Structure 1
Amino acid sequence: MSKLETMFSSCAACRPSRHTFRKLITLKSKRSYMRCLKQLKSLDINPYKTVPSSLVIGCHFDKRSAWRSLAKHPLIKLVEKDYKIRAHDLKVNTAKISRGRSQPLLTQASTSVSGLITWNINRVKAPQAWSTTRGKSIKVAVIDSGIAKHPHLSIAGGINTIDGGSYYDDNGHGTHVAGIVSAIGIAGNVTGTAPEVDLYAVKALDKNGDGYVSDIVEGIDWCISNRMHVINMSFGLLGTESSGTLHNAVRRAYRQGIVIVASAGNSGKSSGKIDEPASFSETIAVAASTRSNRIASFSSRGKGIGLTAPGQNILSTWLNQKYIKLSGTSMSAPHVAGGAALLLAGKSGLSPSAVKIKLRRRAKKLKGFGIRSQGAGLMQLDKIFNA
């Protein structure tokens, strides 16, 4: 028995129990990855997650074993906890609006658009960009709780990385985020930031809005394989946790030319830092503003915020063909994901770095707030094609 196989046999478990925890192993090469899988199989140990392109294997490890010795093996790059992820929304206003009822905070769109435009879409000046493009042919993936069937959302496809089942939403968060990106705005209903993008659902959060890094990593891998142009991630790691496995996946997507947008977090003025993955330099981290153009009290502060977008009392699509108002940096990020899609549709071939620079260059500074609160300022899309 090889040294690696001996290590696995002593610390990996065949099934979860009160004595196990979830660990992610990243191998250094494809060869070592395949070798590791083969040895696990010989021990009748079935990993709960395998992500070949990221060389990641998820296993249940016995807490009572000397599992830390695995990290020192020359074939293994990283061993870390499979951290929990949580959606970045605050359900401060849960009044649902049924299809066909009057909808507050809406204004009539121009005669060339059949939908209605919420205050937040007007605030980022998305309608002024629509004369150039509405995002056609740009593929946007929402890694979230899935996207529900809705008459005003057009879902091009997707994946469920939790259990391989349906990518339809059983929480509502992902559907709300998707509507902010690209609700199609027909029959007098809400219009998203980029209503003609190709929208993809990557279900990696469960019915409670919770998930694991391993499911997010598999979702990012799917986005790379399926050539997404933009990824929206309206969630964050809990507390002060940090994941090298997640960062490695984000780096891979960034190097493949994907624009990655992430919500800053909802820890407020005293947070001192923004959450991962928003804190990764490869993302565009988004803070939340209010209707009065102030940074929302719940919006996390810290180094690395790229832009601000509306995030308080945002009306968008919901489960059962309804609409709802939610708050959180979860609602801010999809404005920027939609804005990035518009920019890419109007100026094809831009790198993720160039997209970030151009969006930041046209942002509007909000008075009374520093860079650690708002980044470059409130996103403005009316002149992005001249940036």
Structure 2
Amino acid sequence: MKPVEQILSRSVRPRPSRSTERRIVSLRRSGDYRRCLKELAAAGIKPVKSSKALRLICCHAEKKRRWGALHKHPRIAYIEKDAKVSAHGLSASGAKRKSGRVRAACPAKAPWNVCRVQSPPLWPRSRGRGVRVAILDTGIAAHPDLTIAGGTNTIVPGGSYADDNGHGTHVAGIAAATGRGRILGNAPRAALYAVKALDRRGEGYISDIVQGIDWCIAHGIRVINMSFGMPGDSQALRAALRRARRKGIILVASAGNDGRASGGLDVPARYPETIAVAATTRRNRVASFSSRGKGIDIAAPGVNILSTYLNGTYARMSGTSMSAPHVAGGAVLLRGVSPGLKAGAAAARLRKYALRIPGGRSAVGSGLLQVAPAATGLGIRKRASRKSC
């Protein structure tokens, strides 16, 4: 059998065309990964993406060629099409100021949805200061109510991580709006990072998502929000999530917007490494569009949610995309109270203290997110008992 690097270099194409597609190749050994990259470079072929940690190489391939020899090669772990995910947000509408009293239990500038999940009662103890949260999305736009600590663009290496869609900026505000302008997010003092892996249409390749997760691991991100998904499966994405979880990152994902007929959750929410989030209405009922199925962990508001948007404006959007950052922001607050809190323990607390609401586990999981109760007993040091003489 020919060396895997030779077969791969003869199978790929140097540039995209109408007849090509992107494919992800996973090598079993690091040595084979390095030799493949060297062979491709010698042939004048630059991979679309590569991941040293996961031994992944993404290249262009002719759609009609099945790569039979590569699929059967013992040095190949798997090969998959570089599929696309889509943002889980529905259309945005302009935000009109609503008159009326602000309830005493809801602080000024805190929208109803932030108060509904009980984030403000925890703010005297933690507003998330210093806890790094990444919004893996369409980017984040400059906004009076957002402080962006940094970020990256995995679509165009070295490119801007500014938002050219609006979805990522809206999600970011729900998680971490500062209140300097009009609204407060769930974790107003979080260290907010923009990882632009979705384009202006709200779509992104799995390889771009994987690279974004790799970046988060390398830059000490503690919580990742993923308000996107796809109905299929991806071994590459699952491998990236497993690695992130082993590094202690809390992974939050939106369930999907396919309603009762969804037949299950989208990926990555379907994977057990994530906290899968469904959407609820202002009446604490599951939203009609929220996907149902096995694996939902928790629910949060996702209908007509006010948040930050492009050009310094505000907008209302719906979708499980809007629900997930409530949980991400809540996870930031918990780690602000207890920095050493394990990812699994954080997820367990969020589920345990959720408010039981109608719908059943396949629709709302453990119930409605309740952040402050989930912090019960966290960050409290027990005093050593004194022995009497």
Normalising by structure 2, we get a TM-score of: 0.93
- 1:95 matched to 2:88? The reply is no
Q: Which residue of 2 aligns with 1:60?
A: 60
- Stretches of structure 2 that go unaligned for 5 or more consecutive residues are 378-389
Cα-to-partner distance string for 1:52-106 (whole Å, 9 max, x where unaligned): 2221111011233341321222222111000111000111x51245xxxx35688
Letter in 2 for 1:379: L
- 1:180 matched to 2:174? The reply is yes
Cα distance between partner residues in 1 of 2:38 and 2:232: 31
SS in structure 2 at match of 1:383 = helix
Check the 8 A contact 1:26/1:55 in 2, yes or no.
yes
Check the 8 A contact 1:108/1:117 in 2, yes or no.
no
Q: Which residue of 2 aligns with 1:208?
A: 201
Q: Which residue of 1 aligns with 2:384?
A: none
SS in structure 2 at match of 1:242 = coil
1:42 deviation in Å? 1.8
Q: Which residue of 2 aligns with 1:27?
A: 27
Q: Which residue of 2 aligns with 1:260?
A: 251
Cα distance between partner residues in 2 of 1:342 and 1:323: 24
Q: Which residue of 1 aligns with 2:127?
A: 134
Aligned residues between the structures? 376
Letter in 1 for 2:190: V
Q: Which residue of 1 aligns with 2:102?
A: 107
Cα distance between partner residues in 2 of 1:333 and 1:315: 14
Match of 1:360 among 348, 351, 357: 351
Q: Which residue of 1 aligns with 2:187?
A: 194
Cα distance, 1:106–1:177 mapped onto 2, change above 3 Å: farther
Check the 8 A contact 1:234/1:333 in 2, yes or no.
yes
**Structure 1 stretches (4+) deviating beyond 4 angstroms?**
103-106, 108-111
Q: Write out aligned runs for 1:29-48 (5 A).
A: 29-48=29-48
Letter in 1 for 2:369: M
Q: Which residue of 2 aligns with 1:372?
A: 362
Check the 8 A contact 2:197/2:209 in 1, yes or no.
yes
Question: Among the aligned pairs, what percent are the same residue?
Answer: 50
Q: Write out aligned runs for 1:258-337 (5 A).
A: 258-337=249-328
Check the 8 A contact 1:23/1:61 in 2, yes or no.
yes
SS in structure 1 at match of 2:262 = coil
Cα distance between partner residues in 1 of 2:315 and 2:101: 13
1:241 deviation in Å? 1.2
1:43 deviation in Å? 1.8
Cα-to-partner distance string for 1:262-320 (whole Å, 9 max, x where unaligned): 00000001212000000000100000000011100000000000000000000000000
> Which piece of structure 1 moves more, 141-150 or 62-71?
62-71
CA RMSD of aligned residues (A): 1.8
Cα distance between partner residues in 1 of 2:214 and 2:6: 30
Letter in 2 for 1:336: V
Check the 8 A contact 2:223/2:251 in 1, yes or no.
yes
Normalising by structure 1, we get a TM-score of: 0.93
Cα distance between partner residues in 2 of 1:64 and 1:361: 50
1:107 deviation in Å? 3.2
Cα distance, 1:10–1:293 mapped onto 2, change above 3 Å: same
1:2 deviation in Å? 4.5
SS in structure 1 at match of 2:371 = coil
Cα distance between partner residues in 2 of 1:232 and 1:152: 19
1:28 deviation in Å? 1.6
Cα distance between partner residues in 2 of 1:51 and 1:3: 21
Q: Which residue of 2 aligns with 1:230?
A: 223
Check the 8 A contact 1:106/1:117 in 2, yes or no.
no
1:10 deviation in Å? 3.6
SS in structure 1 at match of 2:25 = strand
